[in-house]
């Protein structure tokens, strides 16, 4: 990897600590150093912190970008005992931000968990993860900080659906990490039946920094950790960037300046070709363009990368990662993968493409989680942004698409720095 670095203006507070990222300290941040930064300060006015979060417009970093203050307030106002879970399970193969935070900045995550618990009135907390190195760092940090709030660490298997909020609740309760039907949502009935806040670890980390640096709350809420990767000669990198940064700038900083397209949001945001360089990194702008920021993972496609091959691999990976609980998901991902494979091998007809169009419009929203939605968006954006490539594949075999489609997502996988 190129490494871990920040594109924030000089003097801005962020989550990337150069001394830690450059030294690659195996034990993560030091407790004394974190206390010197203002960490673990007593929370004397929970409502004031909630107001600060709302005023700064902090949005969740788990994928949906939901306003953090709304989630906090909803759990706070629920009756009875409440629970909070720091969700550090990254299902997207192209994202590394949450594991990096848990490995290298566990105290800022635990501090955010403590603060969010105080705001919501939660009496119990959990850190949910699958990464062994992250677990060791979190347990060390818990031993150093000895929080008053009871915090347990729950280990799960690493799968695409394991980080979905109802799967998180199910696993914390001792079951398999598989999504459940909704309603109820976790904020209504979560761990042990209690109202539960499932919060992404980056969201919690930003809450901690906003509390220790109140004058910079807007700046902290207005930056993202993004994972940049791609084929060709470019490198992968974890970068902290301000909201609104253009995707072309992000491509340039890690050697992907020749990229001709991008896969957004891990596998959830879709494939984008012409005009992608002008897209700004923020939820509203990307949603308006029919895209999604998701977990903040961007995979750049270079001139030698075939968008059809990328779509086939993405769909095949998602199909292999299906929880196999919803018939529509199992049959839908399978059908789309089979049809895309026919396109890639030059064996598709116009009827095949028509079916892909129809499925991409009819299948979203029909599964228990967003996996089926991700597969449908990959198909829909391939057809919308690369119609000439799809048409060419229907007429002849593409060398880049030769061979069976891999299911392991290796093309998109990034190593944690």
State the Cα–Cα distance between residues 203 and 197, nearest whole angstrom. 12
Average pLDDT over residues 82-103: 95
* Closest listed residue to residue 24, CA positions, set 124, 105, 78: 105
Residue 201 · residue 134 · CB < 8 Å: no
Predicted local distance difference test score (pLDDT) of residue 11: 62
Tens digits of residue pLDDT in 340-384: 999 998 888 889 999 999 999 999 988 888 899 999 999 999 999
Predicted local distance difference test score (pLDDT) of residue 8: 77
Is 334 a residue whose pLDDT tops 90?
A: yes
Q: Quote the strand ranges of 259-315, DSSP E.
A: 261-264, 270-272, 297-301
**What share of the chain in percent tops pLDDT 70?**
95
List of domains in the chain: 3-7+14-220 (3.40.50.11540), 222-301 (3.10.20.600), 307-412 (1.20.1440.230)
- Identify the band that residue 394 occupies on the pLDDT scale cut at 50, 70 and 90: confident
Question: In terms of DSSP bridges, do strands 237-242 and 223-230 run parallel, antiparallel, or are they unpaired?
Answer: antiparallel
Instruction: Determine phi and psi for 170, rounding to 5 degrees.
Output: -60, -40
| Distances, alpha carbon 71 to alpha carbons 45, 52, 185, in Å | 18, 14, 11
Q: 0.75 cut: is pTM over it? A: yes
Predicted local distance difference test score (pLDDT) of residue 270: 93
Is 235 a residue whose pLDDT tops 90?
A: no
Average pLDDT over residues 397-410: 78
- Identify the band that residue 2 occupies on the pLDDT scale cut at 50, 70 and 90: low
Tens digits of residue pLDDT in 267-293: 999 999 989 999 999 899 998 888 889
State the Cα–Cα distance between residues 197 and 56, nearest whole angstrom. 20
Spatial neighbors of 67 by CB under 8 A, at least 6 apart, are 54, 57, 58, 59, 60
* Closest listed residue to residue 350, CA positions, set 334, 361, 339, 335: 339
Lowest mean pLDDT among 83-92, 105-114, 142-151, 396-405: 396-405
State the Cα–Cα distance between residues 21 and 25, nearest whole angstrom. 8
Tens digits of residue pLDDT in 305-320: 999 999 999 999 999 9
Is 133 a residue whose pLDDT tops 60?
A: yes
**What share of the chain in percent tops pLDDT 90?**
70
Tens digits of residue pLDDT in 168-226: 999 999 999 999 988 999 999 999 999 999 999 999 999 999 999 999 999 999 999 99
């Amino acid at each position: 990897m190129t490494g871990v670095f920040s594109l924030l203006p000089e003097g801005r507070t962020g989550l990337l600590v150069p001394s830690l990222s450059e030294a690659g300290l195996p034990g993560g941040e030091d407790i004394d150093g974190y206390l010197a930064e203002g960490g673990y300060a007593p929370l004397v006015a929970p409502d004031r912190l909630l107001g600060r979060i709302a005023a700064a417009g902090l949005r969740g970093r788990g994928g949906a970008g939901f306003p953090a203050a709304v989630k906090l307030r909803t759990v706070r106002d629920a009756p009875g005992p409440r629970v909070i879970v720091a969700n550090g399970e990254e299902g997207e193969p192209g994202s590394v931000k949450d594991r990096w935070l848990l490995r290298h900045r566990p105290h800022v995550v635990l501090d955010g968990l403590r603060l969010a618990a105080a705001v919501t009135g939660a009496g119990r907390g959990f850190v949910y993860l699958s990464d062994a190195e992250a677990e060791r760092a979190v347990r060390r940090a818990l031993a150093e900080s000895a929080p008053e709030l009871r915090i347990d660490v729950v280990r799960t298997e690493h799968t695409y659906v394991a980080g979905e909020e109802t799967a998180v609740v199910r696993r914390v309760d001792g079951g398999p990490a598989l999504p459940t039907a909704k309603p109820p949502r976790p904020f209504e009935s979560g761990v042990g039946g209690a109202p539960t806040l499932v919060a992404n670890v980056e969201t919690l980390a930003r809450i901690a920094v906003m509390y220790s640096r109140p004058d910079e709350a807007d700046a902290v809420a207005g930056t993202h950790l993004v994972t940049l990767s791609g084929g060709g000669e470019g490198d992968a990198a974890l970068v902290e960037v301000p909201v609104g940064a253009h995707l072309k700038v992000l491509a340039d900083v890690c050697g992907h300046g020749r990229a001709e397209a991008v896969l957004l949001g891990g596998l959830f945001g879709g494939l984008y070709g012409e005009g992608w360089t002008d897209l700004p990194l923020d939820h509203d702008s990307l949603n308006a363009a029919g895209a999604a920021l998701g977990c903040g993972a961007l995979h750049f496609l270079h001139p030698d990368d075939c968008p059809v091959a990328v779509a086939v691999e993405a769909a095949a990976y998602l199909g292999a990662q299906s929880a196999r609980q919803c018939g529509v998901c199992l049959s839908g991902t399978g059908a789309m993968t089979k049809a895309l494979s026919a396109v890639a091998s030059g064996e598709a007809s116009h009827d095949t493409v028509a079916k892909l169009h129809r499925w991409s419009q009819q299948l979203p929203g029909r599964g228990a989680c967003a996996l089926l939605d991700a597969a449908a968006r990959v198909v829909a954006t391939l057809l919308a942004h690369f119609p000439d490539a799809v048409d060419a594949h229907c007429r002849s075999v593409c060398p880049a698409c030769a061979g069976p489609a891999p299911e392991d997502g290796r093309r998109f996988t990034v190593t944690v720095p």
